[in-house]
Structures are given as structure tokens and as C-alpha cells.
Structure 1
Amino acid sequence: MASFKIEGGHKLKGEIVPQGAKNEALQILCAVLLTQETVTLHKVPEIRDVLKLIDLLDAMGVTVEKVEDETYKFTASDVDVAFLETETYKKKAASLRGSIMVLGPLLARFGKARMPKPGGDKIGRRRLDTHFFGFSKLGAKLEFDAEEHFYSVDASDLRGAYIHLDEASVTGTANIIMTAVLAKGKTTIYNAACEPYIQQLCKMLNRMGANIMGVGSNLLYIEGVRELGGTTHTMLPDMIEIGSFIGMAAMTGSELTIKDARVDQLGIIPETFRRLGIKMEIQDDDIYIPAQEHYEIESFIDGSIMTVADAIWPGFTPDLLSIALVTATQAKGTVLIHQKMFESRLFFVDKLIDMGAQIILCDPHRATVIGLDRKFPLRGIKMTSPDIRAGVSLLIAAMSAEGTSVISNVEQIDRGYQRIDERLNALGAKIERLDD
């Protein structure tokens, strides 16, 4: 298990290019199973979760060719469906949550699929009901082996249907879309997730020959087709990494330019950080954050305490609430952070409190942050990264703190951030990777 040793108090300066979007890549990689033809993908983030999924596809019989850094070719002309019965498959698929999205393409193309209970962050309940509800509406039959924690799905006669989702699950929507594109007839998906990642998936599938209408809305119409062809696709820059860099610049008092940020796809992310007092300028497609000694949290119009809460798109993404929380600790003012979707994602705040932050954890979903306006700097401590986003939040805190911090279990950070220590050190950070 690796650790980061961070010497706090160093300001960053320069330009940084965000990696390709992790959450988009996990969907797009699974979609290559829908065709026998070659799919070329650019801006593939070379992070732990994505590389694990690529390894799984390779083990399933997909031909994987790395053309250059962040560019791969995938040809799924010889998928070994029997591999789904093996212990190797069970082990590989269970090690990451993104593997759940191979189900839809396998059902659509081969009429059956198996999946162990997938892994991922321990941030509370993350149910799979939405996925299987959609599959069953399309005519699939589900069996769950409680002892083996294995899902088996038979979908030999998929037919289009009207599907009204009980939650706008991003991965659930992606899985159902990938199943419906090859089902017979017309499928309607209402209350579909409409994140930029879902829009990217739909646009790519349409280039492959699918017929998806309503892209960008929560009401999708899909006319099934017989087969799909190959294509070329480029991932969006990762909005979570962009938000992390905005918060990091503010916390460390750094001057930073985030290059090629696709600002048009960031929704209310920049505005939410502005409400925390962070100044930024949009320069073409770049985000420039000047060095700020102080930043002040806004209040609501009536003078009441600002609340930052997560919501389905186009609301504020839950993956950035941890970043907003840590950023607020050194602002001037008070904010209520309301994490609605996951009940265990705020439990990392005890580490921030140990560092000197003024935070009241109201319950598993809400935390009140009293900004210290840099009057009482955070202090370096030893801590452990519990999940991807909390891990980077702790890294940001450590970079702004006085003294030295050590964060263990940084494999969690590696799951979502590409060579983060190297990239930040190039800007002036002092982060040393220690291999235990």
C-alpha cells in the first residue's frame, strides 16, 4: 500500500491539462463490446479503474492495441462468452464498480451475461436495482445467487419498451441505453440521466449506427437497429479533476490555468466555486484562477447561510462536494454542505477536524463548515484515504497545511487521478510517493 508524504505550504504556478473523464471512459469502454468493428478512443485516462476495465476487456477476448499515450484501439470481434463462467472473470469484474456496465452490451449482442457484485468506493448504498429494472422491462430475466453474489441475466429476446426510471442513475441509464440500441422495436426512457457523459455515449453510439433521439434531455427515444459499426471517439476533460484543481488553487493561494477545460460542459461547477468566493476568468476554453490571499463565501439574498448540495445533472455533481467542503475550511464565512446521495461520503471530515478545521458533522448527510479565513492554518497529520474524492480532498488540505502530512492508501486516489503527484510536483507541489 502506497502513501503520499506532503510538505505543505507550497504555492503552485503554471498550467495543467485535465485528464480524460473517468466516468465517461468507463461507459465508453464497455460500449466497444457492442460491435465487431474497431473503435478508437482518445483521451483515455490511464488511471487504476480504467486500466482494470481495459484488462477485463482484454481477458474477455477483446483485442486491445495501445496506439500512444491515452489512445487505444479496441476490436471485440472474438469475445469469449464462456469466460464469464470462470473464477478469473469473477475476480476481475468484482474488483471495480464500472464493470457493471459490461452487462448491457453483453445482453444486447450475445443475449446473456453474468456479473459478480461489483466493487468501488465505500460511500454508502449504491444499489443496482435501476439497471435490472431496465433490463427486465426490455425482456431480460434475472437470477441472483445470494451465496456467490452473482447476477445471471438471460436476454435472448430483447424488445423495446417504455421505461420510467425511479432514479436518474448515470450508470443505470448508460446500461439500459446500451441494451436498447440492439433490441427490437422502440424504447422510451423517461427520467434518464442526462450528464455530459451520457450525452457523449449517445453521440458515439449514433455515430456507430444507433438511433437515439432526445440526447441531452431526460426523455430518450431509441429505435433498435440490427448491428453497430466502428467509430472514433474522444473523451471530455474530467469535470471532477477540473473542480479539484479550482479548489486546490484557492486553498494553496496559487495562480493556476486549467487548459482545454470544455467550459461549455461544466454546468454550474464554476459558478458554485465562485459562490465560495473563488475568483476565476474564462479565457477561451481555459480557466484562469489568480492567486488569492482571501476568499469569502456568499450568503443567500436574505442573509442566511449558504448551502451547497448535490443534485442530478444539471445540478452540482456529488463527486465535488468533498472538494467544496475542504475548500470552505480556509474561506471567510460559513456554509452548509449537504450530501444527499450517499450517506458515508462525509465521514472523512474527522481528519480535517484533526488538522484544525472548524466543521460540525450534523449527520451522515450534512456538515457545517466555519471558514477560518486563513487565520488558523491547517496542520499536517497522518491519515488514510477512504475513497477517491475524499482522498484528493485530504491531499488538498495537506498541500495547504503547515508542516508535513502523510496520506496512506493512495491507491484510492490513483483510481481516479492520473499521476497526480507528478503533475502537481511539476507546478511546485512537494509530494513524495512512498511504497510500503
Structure 2
Amino acid sequence: MADVVEVRGGPGLRQEHRLVTEIPGPRSREWDARRAAAVAPGVATTMPVYAVAAGGGVVVDVDGNSLIDFGSGIAVTTVGASAPGVVDAVREQAERFTHTCFMVTPYDGYVRVAEALNELTPGRHPKRTVLFNSGAEAVENAVKIARAFTGRTAVVAFDHAYHGRTNLTMALTAKNVPYKSGFGPFAPEVYRAPLSYPFRDGGLDGPAAAARAIEVIESQVGAENLAAVVIEPIQGEGGFIVPAPGFLPRLAEWAASAGVVFVADEVQSGFARTGRMFACEHEGVVPDLVVSAKGIAGGLPLSAVTGRAAIMDAPGPGSLGGTYGGNPLGCAAALATIDAIAADNLLDRARAIGTTMLDRLGRLRDDDPRIGDVRGRGAMVAVELVEPGTTTPDAAVAGRIAAAARARGLIVLTCGTFGNVVRLLPPLSMPDILLAEGLDVLGDAVAATR
């Protein structure tokens, strides 16, 4: 291991796009051979370059390549992969203690995170928070809480949804391969309703799309049986689908009138990613329960369910929690992340990044009939690829574009039920010059695949 590139992250990491080998390089290929022998193949890798440092807007690999990061570890490193405040907070907490289990001997950090989330999530009503480890775990517990409160069992999720890989969240998730195939049977009493998908809805507006969904729910499930509707205000893995204006407010209004708990899964869209702290704020929606994860703790595992006190108080003592839930290091990182979002004006930064990306990608769309749609909010933007002149998904061209971008040193991800969407999630710490260069690289990749 003596030949490993020695690079430190943090504020001293050079913010540059630099390729010194092909992608992946020889050392990454060596490490990947070890991975193949040691790691279960079910854990797939998008880009087999092995990181030794990351921060700002770059990831440096073991071969010395400095890659532009348009992935943020799937929307996790929103404030950067080595934000100084987060690093300092974690170091300080680790020197005090790494774990006691909040359910055994509690500590202040957990309570401070709960207080902060109660304040930051939409609505001025009394709230409570409970902390977990992953987004899937938090979604599953949101359903438990809704069932305990309502005394009902049914749950509705939406077309193209992604909510996780546990048994219940696989049932909520729409996409079969690779998330569900071969892993059933799944948790019962999960139903699906149509989402507002403007690119594919033939001009159907938000209220009309909500009426369509409500009709399906009422006729196929029945409000009297329904504990919760669970929805991503902007879908993540499903294709960065932004519902038409009016869809979410009308759905939330119906849920309130029917006594159904409205759960906003903000795992990917929350924590400043879209230019608001939570994506549902763009339309003034106040969910009953908000699920947070990914960007919540600057790269450390932490998740949360925050909601109306009356709902959150329904489960009895001991019915929620987990050994690692609200780990002290994750809590310290979350508090530092919240401070960084405010101190560095990252809500404004997300909006500025979004304006730049949508403008540049919109011009690409105008010049290339394979680009059917460009959409998103803030630093959560996607390009949907189709057969020219149609809305027929073209996953092959999306894959070629992503591969060409990665070969040029740009980290990008694909997504979508049909696998035809390239999604862009730059960290909000990325400097403008690197953002522009990343978009240039993506443009070159698009041109190279024509």
C-alpha cells in the first residue's frame, strides 16, 4: 500500500478536474479485484474508482485523478464530503464518547437534533422527533407511527416511488429490478396510486392529477382503511420527477380531511438540496410526518422522523428506537451540518446551482432531440433521454452518456423506472468554476454519443 496517493480532504483540497490515468486507473483496478473477492456482488458500484480524499466539489482517487462530483454520494454530502465544521464536531464528540445508546444513558446531542428538526420542518404546530440510522429505517418507522395513531393498516405509495430496501420499504418501492426481484413476499396492505408526472401526463395539471390519484385510493383502498400516504415531494430514484403545481397541496388537503397521515419522504430532497430546507416547502405543504436522512449529517449515518406531537406520541414507550439510532457522532455531524447550511447561505447556493444547471441543460435539450425533458429544483436536476420525437424511454443512450461522462472524470448517476434519466446532485460546496467545467464535460459526453 506504499504507492497509495497521499491526499488529505478538507479546505486544503485543490478544487480541480485532473486526469492522470484512464478511468478507472491501474490502482483502482487492483483494489477492485480485491473487492470482487471480498464483497458480496449484490453491492453494485456505479464507478469503480477508489476514493482517498474528497471535499468541496471533487473526489480524488487512489491513482491521483481528481474527479468532479455530480453525485454527492447520492445526495448525502450536500455540505461537502469534508466540511470543516462537521469534521471538527465529529472529532470533538469522538474524543468524549462514541456511543452509550440513547435508550440506555441519553445525551444532549440527540435532544438538540430533535429540537432543531422540530424547528426546521414545515409548520408551527407542536412536534416530536425520533432518530434512526437510514432512510429506509425512518420510512418504515413513519408507517409504524401512522398505524399506531390511526388504528388503520393500509398504506399508499405512488408510481415510480423509491423508499428503501427493507421488506416494508421494498413493498412501497415501485421499481422491480434491482430492488425487489427475488426478495418477496413483501409486507401486505401496501397499495399504489398514480403520480403526477408532467412529462408523461399529456398536459394533465396538478389538481387533476391529484383527483385521479384520490379516485384510485378511494375506490381501491378506502380512506377508512388507510393509515398513511407516503410520497417523495420530488422523486429520487424514480427519476427526479417534480409533480405538477397543485398536486401535493391537493393530496395533503384530501389526507387531512380523511384522517390519513400525510408522510413526506424527504430523504433525498431534504436538507437544502432543492433550495428550500425541505422540498415540500416550495408549495407550502405542511406534512404530518417528515422523513429526513442522506444530507442530514454531512456523510454520517443518521435519519429522523419528525411530526405532529399527537401523532408521534401514539406509539408506547419502548416501541420506537434502535441500538444505534441517533448515534452521538451522527448527532454532532447533523448539528454542524445545520450550522453550515445557515452560515454558508446554502439555500441560496442551491438555487444558484439550479439556475446554472437548468439553463445549460435546457440549451442542450434544444439542440438534441434525444433529451426529452430537463427538470428539477435547486441542486437536484435530471435529464430524461428518449427516442427522438417521442416519449419512449431510451435507457441505452442514458447509459452511454453516463459512461462517457465518467470516462472524462465526471461522477454522474442514472435513475428512473425506465433507467433513462441522468441525475445531477453536486454538493453545495462546489465552486462555480468547477460546476461550469462539469457541465462542459457532460455536454461533451452528450455530443460524443450522438
TM-score bracket for the superposition, by shorter chain length: under 0.3
Report the TM-score, using the length of structure 1 for normalisation: 0.27
- Considering fraction of residues, name the structure with more strand: 1
TM-score by length of 2: 0.26
